[in-house]
Amino acid sequence: MRKSRFTESQIVAILKEHDATGKTAEICRKHGIHENTLRNWKAKYGGLDVSDLARMKQLEAENARLKRIVADQAMDIDALKHLNAKKW
């Protein structure tokens, strides 16, 4: 996936600027983005502050770590079931 030219904090600042002025075409021209990009950003980051964004990233990282732990445990359980299923 292509990396964005803008950081998430810059995106939040652009969205706040858009909320303050309300001029979509002017904001898009100023920052060199398409109106659809602004609409997608608004759907994803609308109503967030920079501190909320940092907390969201922290929660996503924790969630990914917990998912890896659960997947590892599921593999261990499956391996043990496979070993116990064999006749000795």
Beta carbons within 10 angstroms of residue 4's beta carbon: 12
Q: What does DSSP assign to residue 4?
A: P
Overall pTM > 0.85: no
Residues 44 and 2 in one domain: yes
Q: What pLDDT, in 10s, does the model give residues 14-41?
A: 999 999 988 999 999 999 999 999 999 9
Does the pLDDT of residue 2 top 90, yes or no?
Answer: no
Per the structure block, which two tokens stand in for 65?
A: 């770590």
Per the structure block, which two tokens stand in for 72?
A: 């590892």
Per the structure block, which two tokens stand in for 18?
A: 């858009």
Residues 32 and 54 in one domain: no
Residues 59 and 29 in one domain: no
Residue 8, pLDDT score: 87
Residues 17 and 41 in one domain: yes
Residues 36 and 56 in one domain: no
Mean pLDDT, rounded, for 45-50: 85
Residue 30, pLDDT score: 94
Q: What does DSSP assign to residue 5?
A: S
Total count of domains within the chain: 2
User: Which range has the worst mean pLDDT, 45-49, 54-58, 66-70?
Assistant: 45-49
Residues 13 and 43 in one domain: yes
The domain of 36 spans: 1-48
The answer to whether the beta carbons of residues 48 and 12 sit under 8 Å apart is yes
Could you tell me the sign of the dihedral formed by the alpha carbons of 25, 31, 35, 41, in that order? negative
Does the pLDDT of residue 87 top 80, yes or no?
Answer: no
Residues 39 and 5 in one domain: yes
Q: How far apart are CA 86 and CA 27, in angstroms?
A: 67
